[in-house]
């Protein structure tokens, strides 16, 4: 309550149904949140909090659902502009990936990332992390700042010569975009120097910040992974990388080292509490135990339900978070991933529940913040944390009836499109379903033009299932 008695607060949100995600998981049936200098300075039942403050701005939320900004632990922002161009009947996306990455320009990188960030914000996400995918990192950062959300982007780094193949089919890209291990490490140092993950006390909380991010899987040499972890430990940063996405990766690891991928990470001293693995689908029981023992995090992504061991990992105490893996074919929508985590696991496993509504919301908020090394700042609505807040609209049928416990409605019933406003550091970056920092029409026009150019170049007709009549 450090806002009390210190003059007016910047913002007072009143009468919300506030899902706090605090350690006690309190839900405020009629709650208020006070914000000063981007932080939550007071919160609690409205009848207690509201009388304590005068505010520069007050909003009556009329029992709308409020929750912490969602965390998209894993996505890719620079292929958003070519969604719909990927083959629908094959996982071999190399023709489009090659064309996209070969044809990437600063303008394309920016436009694609703006669209991706818009989609995230409009579905209630306030921070995302990439696994390093930018060919023009400054443009990705500019896009994050245009939209006003938070992001953890990094350079595209592939240093393993000819290691990519099989269904992933990135070999052609790797040939062109491959860098030396030394250059890979230089890029990692560059991104964490230029976009610091943490700032000093009193400095503004960064919207864009980088960490130690790697493509992982078969794209990076062990030498780089080891050096990356040294850098991460030296700077106290998270190390986030793809791991154990495909059976190919497991086979390659077994053939080369006689160990599964996560076992190998443990053997070479890389596994630890700062490690977050995107996907981590192809795990055996021992690898789940290793992750739990190391305090490492896992991010779910595409392909996780059939063979993944996410319920087992949660039970073992692994920090499991959510990622949309947005870009290419997938939506940047963590709210939808929550729904799938609950609904599809119980369908596939024939048990009820497998992942609970509450666990899904934890995965999308506080677990996500922990996976990004930011649980002290983000992931819950608590005094002292950043005011990254999502308010759902009352103009959607699914916002009614107004039940006192809104969790299962939020996870299972609400469309992410019912998000009405999004605050980052208490700043409304999306208000009444309008972006406040920029003109979305310009963003749409740019992305439409760039995508049309790609469509002409790639030839969408090759992947269209139905005839296209001009
Ligand atoms: Zn990915």
The ranges assigned to domains in the chain are: 9-68+383-433, 70-371
Distance CA 180, CA 191 (A): 17
The predicted-structure confidence for 389-431, as pLDDT tens digits, reads as follows 999 999 999 999 999 999 999 999 999 999 999 999 999 999 9
| 455 pLDDT above the threshold of 50 | yes
Q: At what angle do helices 181-194 and 222-235 cross, to 10 degrees?
A: 20
Average pLDDT for 105-115: 93
DSSP state at residue 329: T
3-state secondary structure at position 265: helix
How close is the Cα of 230 to the center of ligand 1, in Å?
23
The predicted-structure confidence for 295-345, as pLDDT tens digits, reads as follows 888 777 666 788 899 999 999 999 999 998 887 667 889 999 999 999 999
The predicted-structure confidence for 141-161, as pLDDT tens digits, reads as follows 999 999 999 999 999 998 987
**What's the pLDDT at 3?**
44
How close is the Cα of 12 to the center of ligand 1, in Å?
38
Average pLDDT for 244-254: 91
Domain 9-68+383-433, what fold? Urease, subunit C; domain 1 (2.30.40)
**What's the pLDDT at 172?**
56
Confidence of residue 456 (pLDDT cuts 50, 70, 90): confident
Looking only at the bridges linking them, the beta strands covering 39-45 and 297-300 are unpaired
**What's the pLDDT at 329?**
63
Mean pLDDT across the chain: 90
Give the dihedral sign, CA 88/89/90/94.
negative
How close is the Cα of 38 to the center of ligand 1, in Å?
31
Confidence of residue 284 (pLDDT cuts 50, 70, 90): very high
How close is the Cα of 242 to the center of ligand 1, in Å?
6
How close is the Cα of 63 to the center of ligand 1, in Å?
37
- Which residues fall within 8 angstroms of residue 386, CB to CB, at 6 or more apart? 38, 39, 40, 205, 377, 378, 424, 425
For domain 70-371, the CATH class is alpha beta
How close is the Cα of 216 to the center of ligand 1, in Å?
10
Query: Do 237 and 201 touch, CB atoms closer than 8 A?
Result: no
Query: Do 334 and 72 touch, CB atoms closer than 8 A?
Result: yes
């Amino acid at each position: 309550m450090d806002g009390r008695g210190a003059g007016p607060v910047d913002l007072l949100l009143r009468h919300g149904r506030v899902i706090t995600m605090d350690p006690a998981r309190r839900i405020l049936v009629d709650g208020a949140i006070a914000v000063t200098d981007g932080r939550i300075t007071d919160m609690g039942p409205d009848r207690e909090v509201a009388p304590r403050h005068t505010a520069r701005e007050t909003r009556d939320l009329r029992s709308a659902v409020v929750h912490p900004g969602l965390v998209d632990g894993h996505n890719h922002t620079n292929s958003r502009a070519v969604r719909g161009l990927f083959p629908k009947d094959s996982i071999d996306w190399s023709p489009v990936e090659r064309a996209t990455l070969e044809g990437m320009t600063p303008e394309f990188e920016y436009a694609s990332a703006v669209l991706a960030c818009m989609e995230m914000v409009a579905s209630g996400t306030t921070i995302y992390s990439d696994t390093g995918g930018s060919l023009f990192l400054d443009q990705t950062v500019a896009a994050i700042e245009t939209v006003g959300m938070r992001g953890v982007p990094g350079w595209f780094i592939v240093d393993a010569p000819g290691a990519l193949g099989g269904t992933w089919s990135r070999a052609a890209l790797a040939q062109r975009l491959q860098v030396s291990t030394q250059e890979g490490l230089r890029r990692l140092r560059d991104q964490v120097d230029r976009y610091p993950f943490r700032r000093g006390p009193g400095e503004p909380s960064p919207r864009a910040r980088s960490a130690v991010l790697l493509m992982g899987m078969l794209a990076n040499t062990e030498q780089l992974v080891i050096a990356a972890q040294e850098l991460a430990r030296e700077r106290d940063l998270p190390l986030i990388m793809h791991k154990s996405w495909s059976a190919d990766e497991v086979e390659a690891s077994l053939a080369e080292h006689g160990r599964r991928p996560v076992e190998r990470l443990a053997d070479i001293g890389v596994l630890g509490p700062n490690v977050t693995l995107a996907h981590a689908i192809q795990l055996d029981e021992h690898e789940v135990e290793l992750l739990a023992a190391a305090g490492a995090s896992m991010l779910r992504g595409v392909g996780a339900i059939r063979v993944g061991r996410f319920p087992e990992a949660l039970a073992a105490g692994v920090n499991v978070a959510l990622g949309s893996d947005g870009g290419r074919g997938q939506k940047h929508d963590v709210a939808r991933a929550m729904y799938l985590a609950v609904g599809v696991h119980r369908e596939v496993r024939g048990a009820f529940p497998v992942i609970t509504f509450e666990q899904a919301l934890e995965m999308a908020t506080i677990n996500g913040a922990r996976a990004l090394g930011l649980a002290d700042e983000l992931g819950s609505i608590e005094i002292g944390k950043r005011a990254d807040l999502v308010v759902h609209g009352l103009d959607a049928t699914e916002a009614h009836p107004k039940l006192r416990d809104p969790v299962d409605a939020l996870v299972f019933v609400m469309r992410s499109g019912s998000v009405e406003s999004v605050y980052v550091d208490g700043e409304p970056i999306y208000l009444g379903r309008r972006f406040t920092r920029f003109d979305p029409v310009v963003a749409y026009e740019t992305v439409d033009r760039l995508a049309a150019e790609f469509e002409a170049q790639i030839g969408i007709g090759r992947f269209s299932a139905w005839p296209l009549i001009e």
